[in-house]
């Protein structure tokens, strides 16, 4: 999941409430060791919207008398990351259950011994293999329970497709876009020639979709940085920018302009992880025409997703593990999907009718459950390797793309600056 | 020679010590929250220090060398100075004008005085959110307004100077009123006789302002200049919230020193370098504070001659 700027204010308020709740929770005294029978207060820290509503948490409290759950929600994944690493370093202060995002999971895996071992016979085989593998360290300890994943389809504006004389039905659109990235771009050129409008939102978002299809993009499995010499990186970088000169609306993702354009129809398609559906319908509520096609250029792709971890510094690790296991069980994850659109990473959920039959009214009644299950199955089973430097290298790449899109630099200059910035990371 | 009893000796000690005990809270507080962090930061800056790994060994001045050799540090210094000038100078001029307007016999004085303080009450996050929308590149209200006058869209998030102007606008919005009230308080302490005498001497309003008001509020003016220098060079909230990533722009257009420091510490978890930046920032502020103090002293003493 990613940050939406708009959500900050509301979530800021939620955070303050959460902190107040923790303070009052402490005041009531919870100095027990989390043993059986005693009253336990469990804190859980998440960010953005995991779909863990008060009702869902109340369900657990009803099933487990004596357990009180306090939910603390941070505004953004970046805020959560700073907070998490700060307190992990300090050795105290973390919640009993801490949510972390897949993009900074690799940084955390370096310190996996600071997390409680969650491996348990009862949860074996619950997740997609690659989802569980990413959170398993060299010693075979599972340190995170998978929550959601971000299988990607293509969202498109059927009204704009109709104006351009392109098919509007989602099955036909899927057929039209079936193929590699060249197909996607060439349909785009066709669209631009007919309408004069842009094909996709930004070079950065498209680059994200393309780069997530490689297994070793910026780093080798041993952590060696190859971002500057890997031809795949430079090729992707240059291809996206050359195509975006004509095809991109040049709207930096998550900028105010980008949010505004969700309803203005400046571009026709967008790469769409499951959680993006909520971002679109939430920010362009009055716009009709958005639809989603069961297709993704160059195969499948995954963008984002999160885990629940239990820091070893906590006092109630065993109780917290039980709670995290319950929250990430297929039944609860399906409820979270219904609450916030976070697509499950649990195998069993994919045969559950609540998911297979899920329909999104806003997206022209698209069978989103079925489509996203197909998209999840199309994801490369060798997931992209993201090492400890991934976060910083990718930020530098995104900035390099923006420099070209805003006309500040040529592709060559911007690439050269990216190379020097990556080298400076040391 | 009389020998003191133990009781008397104790009374003597307590008599001498009492004043120090009375003033000690400030110094204890300062030592805990001011001096200790300052010294500890210097200690950290001489080490390889990561957020989680902690102390990684003594490296001497390597962190300083690395920071001074980083192109981004110099861009950040440039941006900080540019935003500081674009905010402090207009801010003080406007604050002076507003204060002297409020100092006259206005109807509904309290209303106007509370009014100028209103922006200060708004949280910086809210200010940044609102101005972020106003200054959006394509659908922003300000570019829409400019296009009415036939001025092409300004790249508020592309051009360094434009981004500095936008950020300075947010700062000015928040702080001008606050400074006005501080200056107003000083102006009200000037005896009205001075103005009467000036009027009798035939001084107009502008002459009065330059020759009576400005010299009369000299110490306060220096205080306002120094505090706005410190605030201006430490600017963080507004540039951090100016775009969605908080990294200071694709080409570091609005990366300020504090933002650079924050990114080193909290994104790269490199506390050694971040502490080195903190000390360099301290030096920069000290230098500029000194220059300002000397300059503003001179200007205001010349006014009295």
For A340-376, the pLDDT digits (tens) are 778 999 999 999 998 999 998 999 999 999 999 999 8
CA distances from B300 to A256, B193, B216 (A): 45, 21, 9
Measured CA to CA, the distance from residue A203 to residue A24 in angstroms comes to: 47
As given in the structure block, the two tokens for residue B52 are: 């989680």
Instruction: Look at residue A226 in the predicted model and tell me its pLDDT.
Output: 94
Q: Structure tokens of B190?
A: 């000037």
* pLDDT tens for each residue of B271-293: 999 999 999 999 999 998 888 88
Burial class (CB in 10 A: 0-12, 13-18, 19+), B211: middle
Residue pair A132/A146 in contact (Cβ under 8 Å)? The answer is: yes
List, for residues B211-264, the tens digit of each pLDDT value.
899 888 988 988 898 888 888 899 998 998 888 788 888 889 999 999 999 999
**B150-163: average pLDDT:** 90
CA distance B161 to B143: 16
Cβ-proximal residues to A333 (8 Å cutoff; 6+ apart), any chain: A147, A148, A327, A342, A344, A345, A346, A349
Going by pLDDT thresholds of 50, 70 and 90, the confidence category of residue B6 is confident
Confidence of residue B1 (pLDDT cuts 50, 70, 90): low
Provide CB contacts within 8 A for A327, sequence distance 6+: A44, A52, A60, A97, A145, A147, A308, A333
The gap from C-alpha A317 to its chain's centroid, in whole angstroms, comes to: 26
Pick the residue from chain A with its C-alpha nearest to B133: A256
Least confident of A8-12, A347-351, B132-136: A8-12
Please state the length of chain B: 305
| Secondary structure letter of residue A181 according to DSSP | H
pLDDT range class, residue A281, cuts 50, 70, 90: confident
- The model's confidence at residue A329, banded by pLDDT at 50, 70 and 90, is very high
Q: Does the CB of A407 have a partner CB in chain B at under 8 Å?
A: yes
Q: Which among B200, B285, B298 is positioned nearest to B235, based on CA atoms?
A: B285
**Local confidence band at A15 (pLDDT 50, 70, 90 cut-offs):** very low
Whether B134 and chain A come into contact, CB under 8 Å, resolves to: no
A111 burial via Cβ count (<10 Å: 0-12, 13-18, 19+): middle
Contacts of B136 in chain A (CB under 8 A): 255-257, 260
Across residues A90-119, what is the average pLDDT? 91
Using an 8 Å CB-CB cutoff, list chain A residues near B266: 82, 86
Domain A40-148+305-345 fold is: D-Maltodextrin-Binding Protein; domain 2 (3.40.190)
The bridge status of strand A144-157 relative to strand A267-273 is: antiparallel
Longest dimension (CA), chain B: 95
CB contact under 8 A, A252 and B157: yes
Measured in degrees and rounded to the nearest 5, phi and psi for residue B202 equal 90, 20
Predicted confidence at residue A366, as pLDDT, reads 93
Beta strands in chain B (DSSP E): 47-50, 54-58
What's the CATH code, domain A150-304+359-425?
Answer: 3.40.190.10
pLDDT band at A19 (very low <50, low <70, confident <90, very high): very low
Contact B34, B41 (CB under 8 A): no
Query: Residue A260 and residue B158: Cβ atoms within 8 Å?
Result: no
Interatomic CA distance for residues A127 and A342, integer angstroms: 15
- The SS3 call for residue B39 is helix
Identify the residue whose tokens are 């400074």: B179
In this structure, are residues B241 and B124 in contact, taking their beta carbons and an 8 Å threshold? yes
Domain boundaries, chain B: 6-45, 63-302
A423 near B CB under 8 A: no
Residue A12, pLDDT > 70, answer: no
B63-302 fold: MetI-like fold (1.10.3720)
Give yes or no for a contact between A276 and A153, defined as CB atoms under 8 angstroms apart.
no
Residue-level pLDDT at A190: 95
pLDDT higher at A4 or A236: A236
Across chain A, mean pLDDT equals 87
Contact A7, A81 (CB under 8 A): no
Confidence band, pLDDT 50/70/90 cuts, at residue A30: very low
Question: Tokens at residue B71, please?
Answer: 């192109």
Is the pLDDT reported for residue A25 higher than 80? no
- Give dist(CA A386, CA A11) in Å, integer: 28
Q: Say if A64 is an interface residue toward chain B (CB within 8 Å).
A: no
Mark residue B243 as left, alpha or beta (left: phi above 0; alpha: psi -120 to 50; beta: remaining).
beta
- Determine which of B129, B245, B270 to mutate to test the interface with A (most A C-beta atoms within 10 Å): B245
Q: What sign has the CA pseudo-torsion B202, B204, B210, B213?
A: positive
CB contact set of B71 (below 8 Å; sequence gap of 6+): none
B48: contact with A, CB 8 A cutoff: no
Q: What is the pLDDT of residues B55-71, one digit of tens each?
A: 888 998 999 999 999 99
Instruction: Measure CA B244 to chain center.
Output: 24
Which residues 239-298 of A are in CB contact (within 8 Å) with B? Answer: 251-257, 260-261, 264
Task: Tell me whether the CATH fold assigned to A40-148+305-345 matches the one assigned to A150-304+359-425.
Answer: yes
Q: Which of A86, A251, A406 sits opposite B51 (nearest CB)?
A: A86
Q: Are A382 and A133 in contact (CB under 8 A)?
A: no
Which residue ranges make up each domain of chain A? 40-148+305-345, 150-304+359-425
pLDDT of A14 > 60? The answer is no
A49 vs B236, more confident: B236
Helices (H), strands (E): how many in chain A?
Answer: 18, 9
For B82-118, write each residue's pLDDT tens digit. 999 999 999 999 999 999 999 888 888 889 888 888 8
Residue with the larger pLDDT of the pair A181 and A215:
A181
Looking at residue B12, its pLDDT comes to 85
Q: Find the range with the poorest average confidence among A28-37, A52-61, A146-155, A245-254.
A: A28-37
Closest Cα in chain A, distance from residue B250 (Å)? 4
């Amino acid at each position: 999941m990613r940050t939406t700027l708009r959500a900050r204010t509301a979530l800021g308020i939620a955070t303050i409430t959460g902190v107040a709740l923790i303070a009052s929770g402490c005041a009531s005294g919870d100095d027990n060791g989390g043993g059986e029978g005693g009253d336990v207060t469990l804190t859980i820290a998440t960010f953005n919207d995991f779909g863990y509503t008060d009702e869902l948490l109340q369900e657990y409290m009803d099933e487990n008398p004596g357990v009180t759950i306090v939910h603390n929600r941070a505004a953004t994944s970046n805020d959560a990351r700073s907070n998490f690493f700060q307190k992990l370093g300090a050795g105290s202060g973390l919640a009993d259950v801490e949510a972390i995002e897949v993009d900074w999971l690799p940084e955390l895996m370096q310190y996996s011994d600071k997390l409680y071992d969650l491996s348990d016979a009862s949860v074996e085989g619950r997740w997609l293999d690659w989802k569980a593998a990413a959170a398993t360290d060299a010693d075979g300890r599972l340190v995170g329970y998978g929550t959601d994943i971000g299988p990607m389809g293509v969202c498109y504006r059927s009204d704009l497709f109709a104006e351009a004389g392109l098919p509007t039905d989602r099955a036909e659109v899927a057929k039209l876009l079936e193929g590699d990235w060249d197909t996607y771009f060439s349909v785009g050129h066709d669209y631009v020639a007919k309408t004069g409008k842009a094909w996709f939102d930004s070079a950065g978002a498209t680059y994200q979709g393309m780069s997530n299809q490689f297994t070793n993009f910026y780093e080798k499995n041993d952590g060696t940085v190859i971002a500057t010499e890997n031809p795949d990186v430079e090729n992707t970088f240059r291809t996206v920018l050359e195509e975006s000169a004509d095809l991109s609306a040049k709207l930096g993702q998550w900028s105010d302009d980008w949010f505004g354009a969700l309803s203005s129809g400046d571009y026709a398609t967008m790469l769409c992880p499951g959680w993006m559906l909520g971002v679109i319908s939430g920010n362009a509520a009055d716009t009709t025409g958005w639809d989603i096609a069961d297709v993704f250029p160059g195969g499948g792709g995954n963008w984002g997703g999160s885990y629940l971890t239990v820091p070893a510094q906590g006092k109630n690790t065993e109780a917290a593990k039980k709670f995290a296991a319950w929250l990430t069980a297929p039944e609860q994850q399906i409820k979270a999907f219904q609450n916030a659109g976070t697509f499950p990473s649990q195998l069993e959920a994919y045969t559950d009718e609540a998911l297979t039959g899920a329909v999104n009214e806003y997206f022209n009644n698209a069978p989103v459950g079925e489509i996203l299950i197909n998209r999840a199955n199309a994801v490369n089973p060798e997931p992209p390797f993201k090492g400890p430097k991934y976060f910083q290298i990718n930020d530098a790449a995104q900035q390099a793309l923006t420099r070209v899109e805003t006309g500040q630099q040529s592709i060559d200059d911007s690439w050269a600056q990216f190379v020097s910035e990556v080298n400076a990371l040391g | 020679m009389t020998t003191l009893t133990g009781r008397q000796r104790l009374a003597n000690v307590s008599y001498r010590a009492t004043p120090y005990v009375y003033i000690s809270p400030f110094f204890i507080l300062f030592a805990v929250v001011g001096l200790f962090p300052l010294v500890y930061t210097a200690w950290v800056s001489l080490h390889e220090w990561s957020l989680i790994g902690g102390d990684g060994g003594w490296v001497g001045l390597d962190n300083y060398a690395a920071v001074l050799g980083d192109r981004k540090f110099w861009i950040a210094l440039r941006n900080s100075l540019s935003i500081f000038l674009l905010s402090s100078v207009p801010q003080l001029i406007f604050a002076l004008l507003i204060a002297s307007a409020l100092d006259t016999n206005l109807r509904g004085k309290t209303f106007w005085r509370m009014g100028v303080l209103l922006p200060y009450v708004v949280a910086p996050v809210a200010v940044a959110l609102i101005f972020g929308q106003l200054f959006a590149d394509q659908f922003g209200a300000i570019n829409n307004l400019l296009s009415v006058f036939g001025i092409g869209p300004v790249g508020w998030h592309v051009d360094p100077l434009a981004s500095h102007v936008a950020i300075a606008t947010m700062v000015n919005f928040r702080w001008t009123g606050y400074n006005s009230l501080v200056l107003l308080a000083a102006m009200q302490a000037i005896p009205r006789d001075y103005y009467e005498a000036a009027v009798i001497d035939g001084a107009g309003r502008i002459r009065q302002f330059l020759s009576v008001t400005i010299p009369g509020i000299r110490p306060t003016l220096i205080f306002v200049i120094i505090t706005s220098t410190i605030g201006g060079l430490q600017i963080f909230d507004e540039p951090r919230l100016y775009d969605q990533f908080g990294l200071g722009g694709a080409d570091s257009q609005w990366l300020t020193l504090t933002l650079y420091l924050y990114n080193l510490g909290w994104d790269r978890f490199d506390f050694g370098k971040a502490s080195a930046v903190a000390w360099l920032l301290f030096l920069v502020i000290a230098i500029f504070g000194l220059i300002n103090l000397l300059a503003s002293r001179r200007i205001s003493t010349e006014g009295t001659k």
